[in-house]
């Protein structure tokens, strides 16, 4: 079975955040595999960039400390920065709130040939307001429909979505929040709002299950990655991207010129006038 | 002397593209230093990102094959992708040409805390049309003035510019163009237009000297990096960025909350409801 099959969100349930349902069971093995995964990712991304036609969009969602930032550093860090378009989505600004919720998302899409990375995304707009009791019923359903239509449109125009829910346990979050508070170099990553979100843990899990149920479509499926182990999460996301790129099978394009003729011209023009 | 002092463009002349006026004279030494440079760059960029206030903008200019792409891969590849905003500027599209030449540039500026990378830039708009005889005299001077005012505005609002001219020799370009034509995996990087630009080598060098003379300001100086040796170019650009970030001296911000109180609240809320 492929990682995409194993991690694909199945209606109605979430795996254990400590599970390792596919791939290496041991950290040393996963770390040993990563350089090779990275080299292949880099090579395939280079071909995608050379084609300059199709796009990949990695959507990273998860509770605070679930490892969105770590995934970007360790997985996307293996690819040429030229081929990566990273965008974080924070709490919408006043200006952003005056627009449709997909407005800022459309502006941040990757260029042809790039892997776009959304660190949070339009899914925040069906998670946060729902948990805060500001969005429910027909309005919530309407946003799900708009998201599905938007992603269908992306898929139809050459963007392959890889939507990943980094699934951690509340116990692991506790350890990571504590570590952030104890390390002066990590305190900037913590805000008191993290604790407010943590207090609504079960509401968020319910909201995430709703998202997985309503927006995991054939055009843009969700993958649920058990993320209590950082090394497993990195291996899993790298492998999901890799399988996606292998299927796209980008190839160096036909140069569109006569190679021999250009070589001859180049040699003839050797001496710069 | 710092690398910034050594490479700073001096009115009226260009160094030999094979020179090594600062730093390691040997490839093995430069390659040996690179990981340490990279680790410090990464650390300083993390602090810049944590501050989320100031920005750095690396502008890469140079003839075809001068190594803009290679610099991005090898130098920016050492930094967290989260902290890098890469933008290539190709020949302006019809839509872009209907706007002021700085319009598309303003849209591509990095977010606070990021290092923006321009692979070509607004400088193409005072190089290409000048060489093609479409821009001269008062119109050219006007563009220089607009660029200087724009960069002054960036500097005044917290963006530190690092403008690098990757300076190669026509002999080295010949070798690199030939290599691109001979390698099927590199042919997509070559277009017949490269040869047309090569035929105007001296015109481009003159146009570059004009750019260096007219737009190397106190607010946004140009650096000329001899780029015939790839390892030297990588060392030089990494060092220019590093010196810039060291001077900015970004620091992890005050968390803005009471750490002990948050730790206590966190432990109290341990059991997720």
pLDDT 10s digits, B54-104: 999 999 999 999 999 999 999 999 999 999 999 999 999 999 999 999 999
Closest by CA position to A177, among listed B71, B204, B266? B266
DSSP A136-192: -HHHHHHHHHHHHHHHHHHHHTTEEEEEEEEE--HHHHHHHHHHHHH-TTTGGG--H
Residues of A in contact with B178 (CB under 8 A): 263, 266-267
How many whole angstroms separate alpha carbon B24 and alpha carbon A260?
39
A8, exposed or middle or buried, with CB in 10 Å at 0-12, 13-18, 19+?
Answer: middle
Nearest residue in B to A172, CA atom:
B270
Question: Smallest Cβ distance to B262: which of A77, A181, A257?
Answer: A181
Query: What pLDDT digit, counting tens, does each position of B184-226 carry?
Result: 999 999 999 999 999 999 999 999 999 999 999 999 999 999 9
DSSP bridge pairs for A85: A116
Of B86, B190, B272, the CB nearest to A170: B272
Beta carbons of B185 and A259 less than 8 Å apart: no
| Phi/psi of residue A84, nearest 5 degrees | -120, 130
- Cβ distance A195 to B272 less than 8 Å, yes or no, reads no
**What is the distance in angstroms between the Cα of B182 and the nearest Cα belonging to chain A?**
8
Instruction: Return the structure tokens found at A69.
Output: 């930032």
pLDDT mean across residues, chain B: 96
- Percentage with pLDDT > 90 across chain A: 96
Cβ A85 vs Cβ A35: under 8 Å: no
Q: What is the pLDDT of residues A70-102, one digit of tens each?
A: 999 999 999 999 999 999 999 999 999 999 999
- pLDDT tier for residue A271 given thresholds of 50, 70 and 90: low
CA distance A142 to chain B (A): 30
Domain boundaries, chain A: 3-268
> Average pLDDT for residues A6-18, to the nearest whole number?
89
Query: Looking at CA atoms only, how far is residue A175 from chain B in angstroms?
Result: 10
Does any CB of chain B come closer than 8 Å to the CB of residue A199? yes
pLDDT at A71: 98
Number of A–B residue contacts, CB under 8 Å: 123
Average pLDDT estimate for B23-48: 96
**Contact check, Cβ <8 Å, B195/A85:** no
Is the domain spanning B3-268 CATH 3.40.630.10? The answer is no
End-to-end CA distance of chain B: 61
Cβ atoms of A195 and A63 within 8 Å: the answer is no
Residues of chain B found within 8 Å of residue A77, distances taken between Cβ atoms: 77, 80-81
**Per-residue pLDDT at B271:** 65
The number of beta carbons lying within 10 Å of the beta carbon of residue A255 is 18
* DSSP-derived secondary structure letter, B86: E
Say what the ipTM of the complex is. 0.94
User: Which of residues 22 through 51 in chain A touch B, CB cutoff 8 A?
Assistant: 50
Tell me, what DSSP letter sits at residue B181? H
When pLDDT is cut at 50, 70 and 90, the band that residue B11 belongs to is confident
A239 vs chain B: nearest CA distance in angstroms?
A: 18
């Amino acid at each position: 079975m492929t990682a995409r099959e194993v991690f694909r969100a199945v209606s109605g349930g979430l795996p254990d955040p400590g599970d390792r349902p596919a791939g290496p069971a041991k950290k040393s093995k996963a770390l040993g595999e990563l350089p090779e995964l990275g080299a292949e990712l880099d090579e395939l991304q280079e071909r995608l960039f050379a084609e300059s036609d199709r796009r990949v969009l990695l959507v990273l969602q998860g509770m605070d400390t679930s490892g969105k930032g770590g995934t970007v550093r360790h997985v996307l860090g293996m690819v040429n920065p030229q081929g990566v378009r990273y965008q974080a989505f924070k709490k919408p600004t006043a200006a952003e709130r005056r627009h449709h919720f997909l407005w800022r998302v459309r502006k941040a899409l990757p260029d042809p040939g790039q892997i776009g990375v959304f660190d949070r995304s339009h899914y925040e707009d069906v998670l946060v307001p729902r948990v805060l009791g500001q969005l429910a019923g027909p309005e919530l359903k309407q946003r799900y429909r708009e998201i599905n239509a938007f992603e269908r449109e992306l898929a139809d125009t050459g963007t392959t979505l890889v939507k990943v829910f980094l699934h951690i346990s509340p116990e692991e979050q506790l350890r990571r929040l504590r570590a952030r508070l104890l390390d002066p170099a990590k305190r900037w990553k913590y805000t008191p709002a993290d604790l407010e979100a943590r207090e609504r843990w079960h509401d968020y899990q319910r909201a995430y299950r709703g998202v997985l149920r309503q927006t995991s479509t054939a055009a843009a499926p969700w993958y649920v990655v058990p993320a209590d182990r950082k090394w497993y999460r990195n291996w899993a996301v790298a492998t999901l991207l890799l399988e996606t790129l292998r299927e796209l099978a980008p190839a160096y394009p036909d140069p569109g010129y006569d190679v021999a003729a250009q070589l001859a011209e180049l040699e003839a023009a050797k001496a710069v006038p």
